[in-house]
Amino acid sequence: MGVARTGKDADPYQVFAVLTQTSLTDGYRGFDFPLAGGVNGFTVSNLIGNQKLKPELSTDYEIGTDLKFFRNRIGINFTAYNKIITNLIWTSTIPSTTGFTAQTQNLGKITNKGIEVALNVVPVETTDWRWEVFANYSTNKNKLVELVEGLDQISLGGTSTIGFVARPGYPLGLFEGTVVATDPQGRVIVNAQGLPTFKDQKEILGSSQNKYRIGGGTSISYKNLNLKVVGDYRHGGLMYSRTAELMYFTGNAIQTTYNDRQPFIIPNSVQKIGDNYVENTVPIAGFDHNLNLYYNQTYNAGKGSAYALVPKTFFKLREVSLYYSLPSKLLSRSQIRSIDVGLVGTNLLLWTPVANSFTDPEQTTFGN
C-alpha cells in the first residue's frame, strides 16, 4: 500500500506576458529577427500572463499484493490505484479580442482509477518438460471531474472536421463533430438531391479511451527447446483515421461499393416539405451526379464526422518464438556461458472489428 503526493510546475515565463522575437512577412518574403548586422525586433507574446497560476498537484493511492502458491506454480499479482490531479495546468485558447490568443491556467481536476491483475500458472514441470501459462488484465477509468467556472469544455486538438475535447463528467479525450439530422421517428432527413442533412449543433461522437486490455500467452519447453506465443487484446475506444477519410474520398474504401455503385435511395430517409416529413424518392446517382459528393468530406458517407472514426479494438498475435539452447558441454572449453539460437516473429496476425477495415489502430498517419 502506498500514498504519494507530487507537484508539477508550469513552463517558465507563464506568470507575466513576455516579449518574443518577431517574424514579419509581406506575403512573399519573411523576416525572422535578429537580422544580419545585429538588428533585432520583439513583440508581445500571444500568451497572456497569469499571476494566479498555481502548481499542479498529483495525489496517488495504491494498494496491491503479490501471492505465490504451490512452490511458485501459481502466482497472482493485483494492484488497484486512484490518482487525483488538481489545479490541472493547461494552455487554453481565449478570445483574440483580448489582444492575446491563449493563457496558461489551472483548469480543473482529473482522476485516474484502475486495476491491474496478472496471473501466472505452471501446469506441468518435470525434468524435461515445462509448460507455463500467463495472462494479465488492466482497466483505467480516466475522468475530467471539473473545470474552472465559466468553462464547459476545453479543446485538446482535432482536425478541421472533428474536434478532440474534454468535458466535465466524461472521460478525457472525446471526439466532437457533426451528426446526421433525423425526424422525430429517427428517419434520415435528406435534401433535394437525396443527400443527408446534418444538425447545426455538434455532438459528442465517442471516447478515445480503451475500456480494458487483456494480454497473455504460453511457453512450452522440452529439454533445450522452447516455444513461446504471446497475444494482446484491447477493447473499446475510437480513433481518428486519416486513412479512412482518404479512402472514402478516393473511392477505395470497400464501403463505397455499396449497391455495386448503382443509384440508391438512402434507407429510411425522408424529405421535409414545410412542416411535414414525406418519404424520400430521390436516389443518389452515379459520379456524373452526386454519388461522389456522398462519400467525400461534404457529406461524410452519410454519417457526419464519425465516418473518419474507427474502433480502437483489436487483437494482435504479438510474438511467436522458437529457441534452442546449445548444450553447455559444447561450450565448456570456451568463455561463452550459453548460446540460444532462435526464430522470432512479431505482429504476425491482426484482427479488427468489421467497422475498421482501414488501418492498424497502433499505426498513425505519421508512419510509426
List pLDDT tens digits, range 132-178: 999 999 999 999 999 988 788 888 888 888 999 999 999 999 999 99
Average pLDDT over residues 77-83: 97
Q: Please indicate, yes or no, if residue 39 is contained in any of the structural domains.
A: no
CA distances from 247 to 196, 208, 281, 366 (A): 20, 22, 28, 17
The pTM of this model reads 0.84
94/111 Cα distance (integer angstroms): 25
User: Could you tell me the three cell numbers for 195?
Assistant: 443527400
Kindly indicate the confidence band of residue 40, based on its pLDDT and cuts at 50, 70 and 90.
confident
Q: What pLDDT does residue 288 have?
A: 58
- Whether the per-residue pLDDT at 114 is higher than 80: the answer is yes
- Whether the per-residue pLDDT at 194 is higher than 80: the answer is yes
Cα dihedral 265/266/269/271 (nearest 10): -60
- Whether the per-residue pLDDT at 220 is higher than 90: the answer is yes
Average pLDDT over residues 54-73: 95
Instruction: Quote the number of domains for the chain.
Output: 1
Q: What pLDDT does residue 342 have?
A: 95
List pLDDT tens digits, range 315-339: 999 999 999 998 888 777 778 888 8
The percentage of the chain sitting over the pLDDT mark of 90, rounded to a whole number, equals 66
List pLDDT tens digits, range 254-273: 999 999 988 999 999 999 99
Q: What pLDDT does residue 268 have?
A: 94
Q: Please indicate, yes or no, if residue 78 is contained in any of the structural domains.
A: no
Q: Please indicate, yes or no, if residue 120 is contained in any of the structural domains.
A: no
Q: Please indicate, yes or no, if residue 336 is contained in any of the structural domains.
A: yes
Q: What pLDDT does residue 368 have?
A: 63
Kindly indicate the confidence band of residue 33, based on its pLDDT and cuts at 50, 70 and 90.
confident
361/310 Cα distance (integer angstroms): 8
- Whether the per-residue pLDDT at 182 is higher than 90: the answer is yes
- Domain encompassing residue 285: 180-368
Q: Please indicate, yes or no, if residue 354 is contained in any of the structural domains.
A: yes
Q: Please indicate, yes or no, if residue 239 is contained in any of the structural domains.
A: yes
Q: Please indicate, yes or no, if residue 115 is contained in any of the structural domains.
A: no
Regarding predicted confidence, which is higher, 66 or 103? 66
Kindly indicate the confidence band of residue 287, based on its pLDDT and cuts at 50, 70 and 90.
low
Q: How do 47-48 and 102-106 pair as beta strands?
A: parallel
Q: What pLDDT does residue 23 have?
A: 82
Max intra-chain CA distance, the chain: 95
Kindly indicate the confidence band of residue 297, based on its pLDDT and cuts at 50, 70 and 90.
confident
CA distances from 87 to 80, 107, 169, 252, 336 (A): 24, 6, 16, 47, 56
239/158 Cα distance (integer angstroms): 11
Q: Please indicate, yes or no, if residue 365 is contained in any of the structural domains.
A: yes
How long a stretch of residues is the chain? Answer: 368
